[in-house]
Each structure stands twice: as C-alpha cells, then as structure tokens.
Amino acid sequence: MDVNAAVAALAAIAGVCTGVIAMLAFRWSERDQARPTRTSLHTDAVLPPGVDTVLSVLRSSAVVLDESDSVVKASSAAYALGLVRGGKLAVEPMLHMARDTRRDGEIRQVELDLPRRGTGRGEALAVSARVAPLGSRLVLLLVEDLTEARRIEAVRRDFVANVSHELKTPTGALSLLSEAVMDASDDPEAVTRFAGRMQIEATRLTNLVQELIDLSRVQNDDPLEDAEPVRVDELVAEAIDRSRHPASTKQITMAAGGTADLYVWGNRGQLAAALGNLVENAVNYSPARTRVGIAGRRIAAPGGDLIEIAVTDQGIGISEKDRERVFERFYRVDPARSRATGGTGLGLAIVKHVAASHGGEVTVWSSEGQGSTFTLRLPEAGAVRDRASAGRGPVTVDEDEDVPYETFSSAVPESQAIVPAPEVLP
C-alpha cells in the first residue's frame, strides 16, 4: 500500500507540474503576441488615430517620418514621384526641412524643381512641399505636383503675349496709315494707296479676332451636344468654295476626289472650319500654277472604321524640326511669309482641337520643297453609312472635272500621293 501511495503522490505532483508549465507557456505566448513588433512600431501603432485614413484620401503625396527619419507611412503617389526610396526620404532639401520642423515645431513650405525618374531628358518636376509636426515625435510632409499647373500657366502667359503682339501690329499699322492719309489729303494717289493698306490691316485684324473666337469656342463647347451625321462631300465642297478666290488668283487648281457618301459624326460648323483651315493653308503656302488635292476614304481601325480626309499641296514643305510644333498656337514656320499671306498661326491649333474633341486626330507628312499632306482622321458615322445609297459617283471637282480617288495621285508628285501609298503618312 505504501508503494502504491507513493506512486500516486508522484503522479499527482507530476500532473501539477505539467499544468503549471502549460499555464506559464500560455501566458508567455500571450505576452509575446502583445509585444509590438518592429513593423508595427513604424506603421499604424505610432500614428495618431484617424491619421492613416485622412492621409489615404488626400490628393497630395504624403510622407510621415519618425524621430530617426525613417518613413512610417507613405502614400502611393509619394513612391510614384520618387520621394521615398528604401524606406527613406530621398529628397535632401525635404529631409532638412523635416529635421528643422521636428526641432522647433515650425511649419515650413518650399517649392522645388526635382529631376524626373526614368526620363534621361533632364525634365524638371515642379513640386510644393509643406512640412508640419504630427504629434510629439512624428513629422508630416505633404507634396503637391505643380508641373501641369506651371505648364498651363506658361501656355497662358505665352498666349496672352502672342495675342497682345498680334493685335498690336495691325492696330498700330492702322493708326500710322490713318495719319498718313490725313497728311496726304492733297494727294489722291497716296490716299488710295494708304486706304488699300488700311483695308489689308483691317482684314488681318478681323481674321485674328474671328480665329480667337473660334479657338475659344472649340475649346469650351462640347461638339457632341449638337452632333449630327455630316457628309464629307459637303465639307470638302464648302472648303473648296472658301478658298476659291485666292486659288484662282494664284492659278492653283483644286481637285477633290475619293470615296463617295462618307459620313462623320460631329458638329458641322467645327468640322467645316477645321477642313477649311487645312485647305486655306494649302493654297496660301503653295506656289502659283500648282495643284491642291482633297481626298476622303474609309480606313479600318480596331475601335471602328475611321474617315480619313487628306489635303495635299505642292508648296514649300515643312522641315522636320518644325513638324512637331506646327499645331501650337501662333507658331508659324515662316513668320515673314505668314504675315504676307495674312496668317495668324491659329488655324492649325483650331484643327487640332476640333479633331481631338471629335475623337480623332490630325497628322502631317511633309518634305521641304515637295509639299505637305495634312490628314484629318475622324470616327465614321456607321449607322448613317448603312443607310446611305450607293453608287452616287465621285465628288465633283473644281473646274467641272471628276477625279476618282484611285486616280487622284496624278494630281501630286508620286512622293506625296495619297493613294495608292498612304503609308508615307505618319
């Protein structure tokens, strides 16, 4: 009995020891789970309540730094701008601002130009950085990207300067010519000559004001509000009629051809103005006794068929360095020639805006001394095309001549032919 009692006592003691050890292990596990990890020390645990949610909805790039300058929290925009790399703030001026703010608690703001990541073109990224204390140990950095705002401001400044200059030139000329007319009141021939010059300057001023109005309209209006199916043949005929007088003065033949019964969907007035500007430029920049061609066709595209309207001339052409800028406002390849032709430098800018607002594009192919081809591509009004009747014949050409699209290439040099080699277009 004594032996059995001893064994039972030992078993009881062993059970108690096992229970104590299990309880201690459980408590140790709880303490270990409750202990803050290195990651939690630098994330939500050290941020004041609600700050993480606020930072996630801010439009600015946000970075929170701790007392050792380590990044506790950073928005995705901060990484995209290249502000944070390897868990550290990568912009030295901002890091110095953060240290100064942590030391004295003063809010600081500065504008900086930072190099863009991954561009090798030395382009600067304009930002505005604001640093403020966040609690007792943290510092909050908010960064606004000002690059687009600065670009828009530069465009606005250039636009105002160009408009002021362009308006000042004809108004100044009118003032001087009016004085000359008064001084030459006894000379009928001089009065007639000065009056003719005044008419030219007045016309230039009127054209400039009208194009400014047109540019403002196409930028602010939604062309799809008054959209309708527009027949390309009618747009071409209207563009030719608009430039008929200057073309006949220079003995320039205007030929139209291509696929009949093409329709685009959009604002008729804006489309007519865009195509009219292209044809007018082709006439103005072409030598006498040459040919200007307008041709339309349908081309297949992944998102649906497009209507391509090409305007080809045999003019002076455009150099490669100027091709990228011809669609900028007031940019002119040859300013002296533009003034002689009355150009304002806004025509192609209007064409670009009209094409973009209608879901299309305008491109240019050119060779100096051989001429240029401006191509306007717009989405086709497919439903109208299906209803349009077939076999109505080619577009009527100026000079009472019919030129089918396939034979239009004879109107221009082979290097500029729209058909059958459209691949020469960009």
Query: Tens digits of per-residue pLDDT, 342-361?
Result: 556 778 888 998 898 888 99
Query: Tens digits of per-residue pLDDT, 68-120?
Result: 888 888 888 888 888 888 888 888 889 889 899 988 889 999 888 887 765 44
Q: Judge whether 5 lies within some domain.
A: no
Sign of CA dihedral 149, 150, 155, 158: positive
Residues 215 and 227 in one domain: no
Cβ atoms 254, 294 nearer than 8 A: yes
Provide the 10 A C-beta neighbour count for residue 36.
Answer: 10
Q: Judge whether 16 lies within some domain.
A: no
Residues 230 and 356 in one domain: yes
pLDDT of residue 234: 93
The residue with tokens 């701008």 is 81
Cβ atoms 362, 218 nearer than 8 A: no
DSSP-assigned letter for residue 198: H
Give the structural domain span for 262: 223-424
- How far, in Å, CA of 393 to CA of 114, rounded? 60
Residues 204 and 228 in one domain: no
pLDDT of residue 31: 55
- List, in sequence order, the alpha helices (H) in 328-392: 335-341, 347-357, 382-387
- How far, in Å, CA of 375 to CA of 282, rounded? 12
Question: CA angle, corner 148, sides to 143 and 152, nearest 5?
Answer: 135
Instruction: Point out the domain boundary residue: 220, 245, 263.
Output: 220
Q: What domain count does the chain have?
A: 3
DSSP-assigned letter for residue 37: P
Return the H-helix or E-strand segment holding 142.
strand 138-145
Query: Using CA atoms in the order 388, 392, 394, 400, what is the torsion angle rounded to 10 degrees?
Result: -130
Instruction: Point out the domain boundary residue: 145, 174, 209.
Output: 145
Q: Judge whether 41 lies within some domain.
A: no
Residues 121 and 210 in one domain: no
Sign of CA dihedral 285, 290, 295, 299: negative
- How far, in Å, CA of 296 to CA of 261, rounded? 10
Residues 62 and 160 in one domain: no
Please list, residue by residue across 232-262, b when 16 or more beta carbons sit within 10 angstroms of its beta carbon and e when fewer do: bbebbbbbbebbeeebeeeebbbbbbbbbbb
Residues 187 and 309 in one domain: no
- How far, in Å, CA of 220 to CA of 230, rounded? 21
Provide the 10 A C-beta neighbour count for residue 193.
Answer: 15
Residues 183 and 61 in one domain: no
Q: Judge whether 44 lies within some domain.
A: no
Q: Judge whether 19 lies within some domain.
A: no
Backbone dihedral region for residue 399 (phi beyond 0: left; psi -120 to 50: alpha; all else: beta): left
Distance from the Cα of residue 107 to its chain's centroid: 36
Q: What CATH number does residue 274 fall under?
A: 3.30.565.10
Instruction: Point out the domain boundary residue: 166, 198, 220.
Output: 220
Return the H-helix or E-strand segment holding 69.
none
pLDDT of residue 262: 92
Q: Judge whether 22 lies within some domain.
A: no
Strands 71-74 and 84-85: unpaired
Q: What CATH number does residue 188 fall under?
A: 1.10.287.130
Q: Name the stretches of the chain with pLDDT < 70.
A: 1-46, 117-123, 219-224, 332-344, 382-426
Question: CA angle, corner 311, sides to 307 and 316, nearest 5?
Answer: 150
- How far, in Å, CA of 200 to CA of 215, rounded? 22
